[in-house]
Amino acid sequence: MYLNNIKRGSVLLLLVFLLSACQQVTEKPKYPLFYSDAIFGTRFNIKASALPNAVKSDELKIQIKQLLDKLNGQMSTYLQDSELSKINQNQTGEWINVSDALYEVLKQAKLTSELSQGAFDITVGPLVNLWGFGPSEMSYKAPEDKKVKQLLLNIGYKNLLYNDETHQVKKAIPLLYLDLSAIAKGYAVDRVGMLLEAQGIENYMVEIGGELRLKGLNIQNKPWRIAIEKPTINMRVIEKVLPLSNIALATSGDYRNFFEQNGIRFSHTIDPHTGKPITHKLASVTILSDTTMKADALATAFMVLGEDKGYQLAEKENIKALFIIKTKDGFKEKATNSFVARLR
């Protein structure tokens, strides 16, 4: 009943508002809108520093939940009757009608795939499941190479064709399976933000499972303070705090969901080119962007590319990115010039 594998094991940002024990004491007055609940197999938290007189908090919460439920019904792989599931079940090879919302997400996925030369690929879901990081119980055992090779024959973002005039897609491979877990959550954050803005709300924070959209200022009339987590196993430690406004943010990492076999560690992040978990030293990457959907997809793409190729591409494309890299002595940070400039 949730979006499948919503970046399972990804870095959840240690948001300042999640440090509720401290905040409940210090925040006066309370946020006129504070809404926390479950969706997409994770939690969401929404705050607004001020509401227009005509906007009622309880009514707004109903609208937000209705929107999120609608998006889940379009993009979930858990719901067998969702729009995405029907596309996955369709093996006719014919053009398939797609709703505007789903088509927008699919097109952004295509752009990110092209930018990253296939490091981001929404068709990699079957391989994620094969390695035990899907919705089923983890097997803690690496699959046979022949099974990996078999599945590689049925994936590839280039096998999904688009018709921008009719908003239709067609699967060049009948068994092509789409999983939007690394992008749909970010899209949902953006849509909630747009709903708030349509109500005249100018200062808000929307967070779903660690992906954020920030506008204006917090209740103290200051930029929102977002803490990035240090990528340590079995510990929740803050790496650094970012004061941010009018920006979207997403973080992905490889240290919360993995298994070890014969002394070898297997990450949940699968490289679509090899069909196997990544093996480089990049522990996490944080992206700042104009939309959370873009940041969400790019964070996954750079986790696949690694600390060198990812950083080079981010600098080339002027993408605001912070890479946290594993070293023998701990971790080191490596930020793109545009990321540093944005925080000045």
What confidence score (pLDDT) does residue 328 get? 85
Residues counted in the chain: 344
Please provide the DSSP assignment of 198-254 as one string: HTT--SEEEEETTEEEEES--TTSS-EEEEEEE--TT--EEEEEEEE-SEEEEEEES
What confidence score (pLDDT) does residue 280 get? 81
pLDDT of 207 over the 50 cut:
yes
| Least reliable range by pLDDT among 38-52, 208-222, 262-276 | 262-276
pLDDT of 3 over the 50 cut:
no
Which position has the higher pLDDT, 145 or 319? Answer: 319
Tell me whether the omega of the peptide bond preceding residue 52 falls within 30 degrees of 0, making it cis.
Answer: no
Q: Which of 47, 327, 319 is nearest to 336 (CA)?
A: 319
The neighbouring-strand residues paired with 331 are: 326
In a domain, 150, yes or no: yes
- Percentages helix, strand, coil for the chain (3-state, rounded to 5) are 35, 25, 40
Whole-prediction pTM value? 0.89
Question: In 39-82, where does DSSP find H-type helix?
Answer: 57-75
Q: Is residue 169 within 8 Å of residue 163, measured between CB atoms?
A: yes
In a domain, 206, yes or no: no
Q: Please, which residues have CB within 8 angstroms of residue 316's CB and are 6 or more apart in sequence? A: none
Number of structural domains found in the chain: 1
Which position has the higher pLDDT, 247 or 14? Answer: 247
For residue 117, what are the domain limits? 83-171
In a domain, 159, yes or no: yes
For residue 337, the Cα-to-chain-centroid distance in whole angstroms is 23
Which DSSP letter does residue 339 get?
H
pLDDT of 209 over the 70 cut:
yes
In a domain, 288, yes or no: no
Mean pLDDT of the chain: 86
216-272 pLDDT, tens digit per residue, is 999 999 999 999 877 656 666 677 899 999 999 999 886 555 434 444 444 568 899
Q: For residues 177 and 126, what is the distance between their CA atoms, to the nearest angstrom?
A: 7
The neighbouring-strand residues paired with 270 are: 277
In a domain, 130, yes or no: yes
Q: 50 by DSSP, 3-state: which?
A: coil
Q: What pLDDT band is residue 129 in, cutting at 50, 70 and 90?
A: confident
pLDDT of 135 over the 60 cut:
no
pLDDT of 26 over the 70 cut:
no
Q: 169 by DSSP, 3-state: which?
A: strand
pLDDT of 15 over the 90 cut:
no
Q: For residues 10 and 182, what is the distance between their CA atoms, to the nearest angstrom?
A: 10
Highest mean pLDDT among 132-146, 262-276, 317-331: 317-331
pLDDT of 315 over the 70 cut:
yes
What's the burial of 81, exposed, middle or buried (CB within 10 Å: 0-12/13-18/19+)? Answer: exposed
In a domain, 127, yes or no: yes
Q: Please, which residues have CB within 8 angstroms of residue 199's CB and are 6 or more apart in sequence? A: 51, 52, 55, 60
In a domain, 302, yes or no: no
In a domain, 267, yes or no: no
pLDDT of 199 over the 90 cut:
yes
Share of the chain above pLDDT 70, in %: 81
Half-sphere exposure of 240 (CA within 13 A, CB side): 14
Segment 160-184 shows an average pLDDT of 96
Please provide the DSSP assignment of 264-322 as one string: EEEES-EETTTTEE--SSEEEEEEEESSHHHHHHHHHHHHHHHHHHHHHHHHHTT-EEE
329-344 pLDDT, tens digit per residue, is 888 999 999 999 999 8
What confidence score (pLDDT) does residue 27 get? 44
The enclosing domain of 113 has a CATH number of 1.10.3980.10
69-108 pLDDT, tens digit per residue, is 999 999 998 889 999 999 999 999 999 999 999 999 999 9
pLDDT of 137 over the 80 cut:
no
Highest mean pLDDT among 1-5, 206-210, 238-242: 206-210
